[in-house]
Amino acid sequence: MLSIARCHPLKTSLGLCARRGYAAAAAGEQLKKTALYDFHVGLGGSMVPFAGYSMPVLYSGMGVLASHLHTREKASIFDVSHMLQTRVTGKDRQKFFEKLVVADLHQLPVGQGTLSVFTNEQGGIIDDTIIMQQEDSLYVVSNAACADKDLAHIRKHLTDFQNQGADVDLRIIDDHSLIAIQGPSAAKALEQLVGKDLNDFGFMHGRFLDVAGVPCHVARSGYTGEDGFELSVPTPNIVEVTEKLLAHPDVEMAGLGARDSLRLEAGLCLYGNDLDDTTTPVEGGLTWTIAKSRRETGGFLGADKILSQIKDKKLIQRRRVGLVVQGAPARAGAEILNKEGEVIGTVTSGCPSPSLKKNIAMGYVKSGYQKSGTELSVKVRNRVQDAVISKMPFVPANYHK
């Protein structure tokens, strides 16, 4: 999702710095702005380049550590309008999209969503995505930094399908902005604006709701491991809806800093760090996204390689794992070693965990070293530190059932 050359100079309580994340803009680069840009600046948002956009990393009234903990305890709003929203229509839409992703879209009920991945012919992951089944379309949200790549990939195959007489089309949803409200108080804050109880609104489901009188698409999902919602809001109304959610006493704004540490505690991947187009869903610990029916029939790009790895574990060369690290935090790029000192992998994401008060990381190790409890080491600034394989998520998920 992110593209970075170096760390943002802002020092936070978490010492945030990753191989890919917030970066100084390249010379002459014209950063895009979301419709909430002025709103962020007015609230003291510290703006940084992020996937081609100017986005808040934190706000003057609350540091990254406090913002992270506030989200876990109450609720925070994140501007995610940089994400790519698209709508796929036509009677052949499921058949078309099932060539590109590993989900079973024919069996996905209306109003329900699923996490899936776009794959290439070699079985690598082009991007991760959320797909929501709607009455007459597929609503798809994917990563901002992958937008050009994703669209080129989809359109190439779309043209092929259309030339074969298929009824399918794609539209970019460029007249709506996207925000996420995350945390235990998210439902209470939203219920005040929709005028109804949302207890029957399940995780990974979507609905069209009037939020403070504004027609929105609302999905019960997010990127923090907490209960929460993502709201696709008509852009002319995005400031109004955000302000009304923020008026709830439990709700604060949060930036990219807290979003990154929250998702890592939740064991969630960041595309470009923890997933890339050389990594298969099996290697990336995302086998569960491949529907049972798709394992039997295939039909998606790279299926031969991916399904062969599922059937024969000897074909899996590496595995994504979680690590708890002693000493200094292990950042992206740090080497992972076995007890004999052999390099067996690389850290892809890492930070101090505000919730656990331990240093946590995610990375890849050679197959055979992925068992929880396996004792390893990581090299941080030429110092070898103890580490142990840990199950993910590091912090239990609190999704609404």
* pLDDT value of position 22: 53
Question: Which amino acid is located at 207 in the chain?
Answer: R
Residue 160 within any structural domain of the chain? yes
Residue 353 within any structural domain of the chain? yes
198 and 77 share one domain: yes
Distance between the two ends of the chain, CA-based, in angstroms? 28
CB neighbourhood size of 239 (10 A): 16
Ramachandran angles phi, psi of 227, nearest 5°? -60, 150
- Cβ atoms of 348 and 278 closer than 8 Å: no
Residue 401 within any structural domain of the chain? no
* pLDDT value of position 14: 38
Question: Which amino acid is located at 211 in the chain?
Answer: V
> Which range of residues forms the domain containing residue 382?
317-395
Q: Which of 40, 8, 37, 34 is nearest to 21 (CA)?
A: 8
Show the tokens assigned to 56: 């808040």
The angle, 0 to 180 degrees and rounded to 10, between the axes of the packed helices 256-265 and 64-73 is 60
> DSSP class of residue 276?
-
Cα gap 75→186, rounded to integer Å = 5
184 and 278 share one domain: yes
* pLDDT value of position 13: 35
Residue 14 within any structural domain of the chain? no
- Cβ atoms of 52 and 145 closer than 8 Å: yes
Cα gap 232→46, rounded to integer Å = 24
* pLDDT value of position 25: 52
Cα gap 215→197, rounded to integer Å = 17
Q: Which of 361, 324, 336 is nearest to 18 (CA)?
A: 361
Whole-Å CA distances, 183 to 86, 173, 226, 360: 26, 27, 5, 21
Among the candidates 283, 315, 347, a domain finishes at 315
CATH number assigned to the domain comprising residue 237? 3.30.1360.120
165 and 133 share one domain: yes
52 and 160 share one domain: yes
Question: Which amino acid is located at 67 in the chain?
Answer: S
- Cβ atoms of 46 and 10 closer than 8 Å: yes
208 and 356 share one domain: no
201 and 55 share one domain: yes
Cα gap 51→21, rounded to integer Å = 8
Show the tokens assigned to 332: 């992206």
Among the candidates 294, 315, 336, a domain finishes at 315
Question: Which amino acid is located at 209 in the chain?
Answer: L
Q: What is the mean pLDDT of each run of 10 residues along the chain (401 residues)?
A: 30 36 58 98 98 97 96 98 98 98 98 98 98 98 97 98 98 98 98 98 98 98 98 98 98 98 98 98 98 98 98 98 98 98 98 98 98 98 97 98 88
197 and 332 share one domain: no
Whole-Å CA distances, 119 to 100, 101, 148, 260, 303: 6, 6, 15, 24, 9
CATH number assigned to the domain comprising residue 366? 2.40.30.110
357 and 233 share one domain: no
* pLDDT value of position 61: 86
254 and 376 share one domain: no
268 and 203 share one domain: yes
Contacts of 84 (CB under 8 A, 6+ apart): 141, 142, 143, 144, 146, 147, 150, 151, 172
176 and 321 share one domain: no
Rounding to the nearest 10 degrees, give the CA dihedral for residues 258, 260, 266, 272: 170
243 is in an annotated binding site: no
Residue 2 within any structural domain of the chain? no
Ramachandran angles phi, psi of 128, nearest 5°? -100, 155
Residue 15 within any structural domain of the chain? no
238 and 358 share one domain: no
Residue 384's H or E segment, with its range, is: strand 383-390
Counted domains in the chain: 2
* pLDDT value of position 21: 45
Residue 161's H or E segment, with its range, is: helix 147-163
Residue 3 within any structural domain of the chain? no
Cα gap 258→246, rounded to integer Å = 17
Cα 55 to chain centroid, rounded: 16
Among the candidates 315, 330, 362, a domain finishes at 315
